Amino acid sequence: MKKTTVCRLCSACCPVSVEVVDGRLVSARRQSPLPEERQRVCPKLSAAAAITHAPERLRRPLLREGGRRDGAWREADWDEALAVVAEGFRSFGDRYGASSVGWLRGMAADWGAPWDYVNRFMNVYGSPNTIGNGSVCHVAREMAHQYTYGAMTMPQVAESRCMLIWGKNDLNTNPPAADAILEARRRGAVLIVVDPVRTALAEEADLWLQVKPGHDGPLAMAMIHEIIQQGLYDEAFVRDWTLGFEELRQAAAAFPAEQVAARVWLNPEDIRRAARIYATGSPASLIDGNGLDMQQHVFDDTRAVCMLRALTGNLDRPGGDLLPQPLPAANMQLRERLPADARPITEAYPLFNGFHHNWGLHAQSCIPDAILDGTPYPLRMLVVQAGNPAVTMADSRRVRRALAQLEFLVVIDPFATRTSEFAHVLLPACGCFEKTQLNRASLRHNRVMLQDQVLPPVGESRPDWWIVFELARRLGMERDFPWESVEQAIDDQLQPSGITVADLRAHPGGISFGDTRFYKYREQGFATLSQKVELFSPRLAAAGFPGIPCEAGWKQDPVSFAEQRDGYPLIGISGPRDNRFTHSQFHRIADLVQEGEQPEVRIHPREAGRLAVTDGERVKIVTPRGEVRMRVHIWDGVAEGCLLLDWGWGETDPEANLNDLTDDERRNPVTATPSSRSFYCQLLKEPPAAAATITA
């Protein structure tokens, strides 16, 4: 039988058709408006059956013998496992207060309604410590959009004459977006790419700016300066709809292309050309991505990038960048139920905690601080859902120390992971095809599509929503979790829109809530305090942060370990995402890895010559935090002075856990973001004998 649903094997949320025979997924294909020969295949989706029915899938809840972390695992039924977890919530709450319990959320299983259920559960329980990983993912960037013009924009490439792609690699990370970019290219749209790596999109570009890692802010400021100085900005829009143009003009004057160029590894003419092409190419879309995230200056760098959209009048216009029209939906989180004096462990980041009515908390690094240092107070019990922090969080050796110190750790995941090694309870979650849920994308962008269950649960695994609802019942929260099915909960959430699950099932391709409208700000202003685009932010200035991005001129080098760069002279770049894997996931799936495949470090030929390393050689990469071992791949798509390291192998190859190298000490003061994308490091040759003994 063929069915339509949304794939959640990564965060791209692609609409897909899947074929199911006798309760098993047989094949899956992305739905695409393009003719078949132009559709690109997603290897993860092609391997969906192997992933879903993998022998390693957890099929029953697991508990430790004697409740000790060093006890052997034993299988349990759900009743017993949930009773143990509920007892944890009760006893830690009684002994230390509800805030001693935290819930950490990874990126899988979506940020949509399922995330709202967890927030609701924890708020009613009384702990403010429900924390996502948005400080390293896009939420820090989202906050920069929000502070500049009220919401995160969506590029409208179908009608763009020019596309400026800034630190995003949709070919590997978001196939529907990549299709749209390549189609726009086919009809002649100009393409500029800002990326330290020669990605396939950079190869395709009319102009590729191979920026120094982590130095996007000064580049954006130099482009702003050029646009203002040459009078290439949209005067009417700037006059009517922006606040702080004069302050921005003055601050940007400290960033002339001639001075900035060498420091960001570019030449001045390319910076000026990029500014000119973008500013005169309207309508132009600006596609910003995760290359800006995981950088210590993510917030200011992204604000500067966002300002380019406003100066050129490309906001909320066809072919530019759309301000979203969120679907009217109920806020399910019951935040008002938290005790008034509840202090989250992320209290040092109040602006980030509160910038959005629905995002919740995302200063992920505060979790190890609370466990290890008791800062601002100790966290004793943690639930980790849909995440693998032992591999994916910055300075993961410290994170593993923290996990080992927890008095009680519950992990909810379809697979055992490096993180679950530290767990006392391991609850088997359903994969994405085995459950029904709403995706956050549906709540944000006025096209709602149901991720509909197409398969029965594998083994006794259960959907995340079911686990949360059942726990709630066991803790006496029946009144707040009255739903007998997820369909009822979704209907309640979508009630303000009038759309129901039944409607969505009748329209598996999705339902739009009204037409897309442009220039909405002309009627309602922007969703900032001044209702204008805030080039200067009075809110930030009042809180003691720069009102204009980079206003202090050149700040300290944002690349981690800059103080120790004498001993660690190369810049490591946490590599682009491979379209076969999602972070730490799927490296065990035989269809996706080649026999004997090892993670690689890519090095420019001249740098390899200086380091005297050869293609295929296994080497050690070291930072002040730790070391990894990878195989050399000589490639001229990365600049001299940089090492491009494969990302995500730490789950299957503990010697290649990239976050063993990264730093979590220096963080962005607004968003708690560390520079785990770029860090100073050194490369050491391995003695041949030692190298021969190391296997993946």
Ligand X SMILES: Nc1nc2c(c(=O)[nH]1)N[C@H]1C(S)=C(S)[C@@H](COP(=O)(O)OP(=O)(O)OC[C@H]3O[C@@H](n4cnc5c(=O)[nH]c(N)nc54)[C@H](O)[C@@H]3O)O[C@H]1N2
Whether 416 and 585 have beta carbons less than 8 Å apart is answered as: no
Q: In the complex with ligand X, which residue's Cβ is closer, 300 or 464?
A: 464
Question: Which whole-number Å values give the CA distances from 324 to 110, 331, 445, 513, in the listed order?
Answer: 19, 18, 6, 12
Q: Which residues bind Mo ion (CB under 5 A)?
A: 107, 137
Bridge pairing between strands 627-634 and 570-574: unpaired
Four-point Cα dihedral 18, 24, 27, 33, nearest 10: 0
Q: How far is CA 296 from CA 25, 241, 556, 557, 622, in A?
A: 42, 30, 10, 10, 20
If one asks whether residue 574 binds ligand X (CB under 6 A), the answer comes out as: yes
Q: How many helices (H) and strands (E) would you count in the chain? A: 26, 28
User: Position 194: which residue type?
Assistant: V
Containing 178, the helix (H) or strand (E) segment is helix 175-186
- Under DSSP, the state recorded for 661 is S
Contact partner, 360, from ligand SF4, Mo ion, ligand X, none, Cβ < 5-8 Å per class: none
Nearer to ligand X (CB atom), residue 6 or residue 573: 573
Choose the contact partner of 310 out of ligand SF4, ligand X, Mo ion, none; CB within 5 to 8 A by kind: none
Q: Which two tokens stand for residue 373?
A: 């240092």
* In the complex, least distance from residue 331 CB atom to ligand X, rounded to whole angstroms: 23
**Candidate list 213, 319, 344, 599; residue touching ligand X; CB under 6 A:** 213
Q: Would you say 108 or 472 has its CB closer to ligand SF4?
A: 108
Strands 618-622 and 381-385: unpaired
Q: Which residue of 4, 5, 10, 681 would you call a contact of ligand SF4, by CB under 6 A?
A: 10
Q: What's the CA gap between 371 and 382, in Å, rounded?
A: 10
> What would the two tokens of residue 9 be?
């094997």
Residue 45 binding partner per list ligand SF4, ligand X, Mo ion, none, with a CB distance cut-off of 5 to 8 Å that depends on partner kind: ligand SF4
Query: How many Cβ atoms are within 10 Å of 96's Cβ, its own excluded?
Result: 16
Return contacts of 201-206, CB within 8 angstroms, 24+ apart: 201/165, 201/169, 201/170, 201/171, 202/637, 205/165, 206/277
Only one of the segments 9-17, 115-123, 385-393, 593-601 lies at the binding site for ligand SF4 (rule: CB under 6 A); that segment is 9-17
501 contacts 491 by C-beta, under 8 angstroms: yes
Selection from Mo ion, ligand SF4, ligand X, none that 387 binds (CB < 5 to 8 A by kind) is ligand X
The reply on whether position 152 binds ligand SF4 by CB under 6 A is no
d(CA 541, CA 561): 28
Confirm or reject binding of residue 42 to ligand SF4 (CB under 6 A). yes
The number of residues making up the chain comes to 696
Interaction residues for ligand X, span 374-413 (CB under 6 A): 385-389, 392, 412-413
- For residue 327 the two structure tokens come to 């679907």
Nearer CB in complex with ligand SF4: 339/509: 509
For residue 47, the partner it binds in Mo ion, ligand SF4, ligand X, none, with Cβ less than 5 to 8 A by kind, is: none
Nearer to ligand SF4, 15 or 324 (CB): 15
CB of 7 to ligand SF4, least distance (A): 3
Residue that the structure tokens 């944890």 belong to: 88
Q: Which of 4, 5, 7, 10 binds ligand X (CB under 6 A)?
A: 10
Segment contacting ligand SF4 by CB under 6 A, of 39-47, 129-137, 477-485, 562-570: 39-47
Q: Tell me, residue by residue from 445 to 484, as one string, x for binding to ligand X by CB under 6 A and - for no binding.
A: -------------------x--------------------
Near ligand X in 133-152, by CB under 6 A: 133, 136-138
Question: How far apart are alpha carbons 115 and 359 in whole angstroms?
Answer: 9
Q: Considering only residues 195, 534, 600, 607, which one is a binding residue for ligand X as defined by CB under 6 A?
A: 195
Q: What is the C-alpha separation between 465 and 429, in angstroms, rounded?
A: 10
Q: What angle do CA 303, 181, 264 make, to 5 degrees?
A: 40
Pairing between β-strand 130-131 and β-strand 101-105 as defined by DSSP bridges: parallel
Which residues in the 605-664 window bind ligand X by CB under 6 A?
647, 658-659, 662
Instruction: Say if residues 283 and 160 touch (Cβ distance below 8 Å).
Output: yes
| Contacts to ligand SF4 from residues 413-432, by CB under 6 A | none
Q: How far is the CB of 625 from ligand X (least distance, A)?
A: 12
Phi, psi (rounded to 5 degrees) for 114: -60, -30
Site for ligand SF4 in 174-203 (CB under 6 A): 175
Sole binder of ligand X in the list 61, 128, 217, 291 (CB under 6 A): 291
Binding residue (CB under 6 A) for ligand SF4 from 20, 45, 136, 402? 45
Q: Which of 108, 322, 381, 475 binds ligand X (CB under 6 A)?
A: 108
Is residue 157 a contact point for ligand X (CB under 6 A)? no
The stretch among 38-46, 119-127, 225-233, 334-342 that binds ligand SF4 (CB under 6 A) is 38-46
Structure tokens at 91: 């006893």
C-beta of residue 456 within 8 angstroms of C-beta of residue 430:
no
Binding site for ligand SF4 (CB under 6 A): 7, 9-10, 12-14, 16, 30, 42, 44-45, 175
Binding site for ligand X (CB under 6 A): 10-12, 106-109, 133, 136-138, 166-170, 172-173, 194-197, 199, 211, 213-214, 216, 289-291, 294, 385-389, 392, 412-415, 417, 429, 431-432, 464, 573-574, 576-577, 579, 581-585, 647, 658-659, 662, 676-678
